[in-house]
Amino acid sequence: MDGASRDAIGDAAPVPTLNAPRAPRLVLGVCGSTAAFKAAALASKLTAAGVEVRCVLTDAGAQFITPLTLTAVTGQPVERDFWSQEATGEIHVELANWADQMLVYPASQHTLAKLASGLCDNLLTGCLSVFSGPRWLAPAMHETMWSQPSTARNVALLVEDGWRLLGPDHGRLADGSEGRGRLVDVNPTAELMLHALRNPQQDLAGTHVIVTAGPTIEPIDPVRVLANRSSGRTGYALASAARARGARVTLITGPTRLEAPFGVEVEPVESAQSMQEALERAYETADVLIMAAAVADFRAKHGATRKLKREATLSLELTGNPDLLAGLALADERSGRRPLRVGFALEDEDLLARARAKMARKRLDIIVANTPESLDGDLTCTHILSADSACARGPESKADFAHALLDLVCAQLAERA
């Protein structure tokens, strides 16, 4: 069984609120696991963000969390079985018709086995068996259970059948050991489900999206570096949003204090040169490239191998870093293919004119123009420019900006198809 988490209702970071004509609807299945208490935190967070959540609790799940707790955080009665006094015998069909998506959080080893075999012996498996929309599974169990060959076969079959898997994570388990089997934490799950409910079409499914993010740092000596103020939040928001829309995402990131977006392949780098090398490795299969990193323009020409001592005067000679997009243009010429390319222009004057010039010079399909104020905080103001359009946005959350930009990316990909 999965270990206890430090998450508690209301102690995690806020998630974006959805604006929709009708509230998104989620059926949340809760199975038997020590981690079942996390379901209350997740249901509370999603409900606060405007999602209608109806919980289906298995008998084993009810040993770990009470129906009253789930009712209290969702404002909805908890469904338990086919044959309750209130049920009509068709409650599984009614729930399936009501829901936009379904998530089992946590999903036990036993439930995974039943779903892989097509068994339908309780209300949760009944709901899932008649639901035709997106179905998500977040397994939670001890590592020895997760590593069983039978569990691996069941999970592989479920994924092949179209189920979407969240985790499990590696971490502390219920018995105090470390291993894989820990339920994915509340925050990344809530963020992913909000994005998925917002974009159920999965319009980036089958695409490989590369996102660069954060600053690069250039060593002066073993202690000191040249750096910039980029937080990486915009790039991380873009990676998370692209993953939620079905893309395979590679996030190439300079040093940040941000948690890696769930389900995203993360490649940490430091210098502009190491980012260039990571880009060249990933670029061959890319369909979309989003260059959101703040790459340092200069580096020390002669970095010191030992710590520089304080002196009255110190002269630091700089040299230019490689133009990452220019190098990728050569790869385009060799391969005969060209991913859709998105760049960023950070300017403190002549914003739009300079962005247009950079767009032409770098042969970008889309460019995002913003000012240095966008480096800090959770809100951003931008101009999104393409060859035939310009749109001023904000102030808005970086998550909302990310989806607006990806809407344009998807439109341009559709034109190419």
Encode pLDDT of 30-64 as tens digits. 999 989 999 999 999 999 988 999 999 999 999 99
What tens digit of pLDDT does each residue of 68-122 get?
A: 999 999 999 999 877 665 555 588 888 989 999 999 999 999 999 999 999 888 9
User: pLDDT tier at 413 (50, 70, 90 boundaries)?
Assistant: very high
Burial class (CB in 10 A: 0-12, 13-18, 19+), 60: middle
Amino acid at 271: S
How many angstroms separate the CA atoms of 154 and 318, rounded?
Answer: 57
| Model confidence pLDDT, tens digit, residues 158-178 | 988 888 888 888 877 777 778
pTM, 2 dp: 0.67
pLDDT at res. 7: 41
Statement: residue 194 has pLDDT above 90? no
Task: Return the residue matching tokens 């995402």.
Answer: 249
Tokens of 349: 């004057």
Per-residue CA distances from 146 to 4, 106, 151 (Å)? 17, 13, 6
Of residues 268 and 93, which shows the higher confidence score?
268
List, for residues 347-387, the tens digit of each pLDDT value.
888 899 999 999 998 889 999 998 877 666 678 889 999 98
User: Could you tell me which of 361, 404, 360 has the C-alpha nearest to residue 382?
Assistant: 404
Domains and their CATH numbers in the chain: 25-198 (3.40.50.1950), 208-306+313-416 (3.40.50.10300)
Residue 35 has a pLDDT of: 92
Looking at the chain, the whole-number percentage of residues with pLDDT higher than 90 is 40
C-beta separation of 354 from 368 below 8 A: no
Measured between alpha carbons, how far apart are the two ends of the chain, in Å?
Answer: 46
The residue type of 354 is R
> CA-CA distances (angstroms) from residue 273 to 166, 199, 203, 299, 361?
33, 36, 33, 10, 21
Q: Is the pLDDT of residue 222 over 90?
A: no
Higher pLDDT, 291 or 12: 291
* pLDDT score of 263 more than 90: no
Of 254, 250, 275, 390, the closest CA to residue 325 belongs to 275
> How far, in Å, CA of 168 to CA of 166, rounded?
6
Model pLDDT, residue 161:
85
User: Does the annotation mark 122 as catalytic?
Assistant: no
How long, in residues, is the chain? 417
For the cut 50, the answer to whether the pLDDT of residue 272 exceeds it is: yes
Q: CA-to-CA distance for 175 and 115, rounded, in angstroms?
A: 27
Q: What is the pLDDT of residue 372?
A: 77
Lowest mean pLDDT among 216-220, 330-334, 355-359: 330-334
Catalytic residue among 19, 187, 199, 228: 228
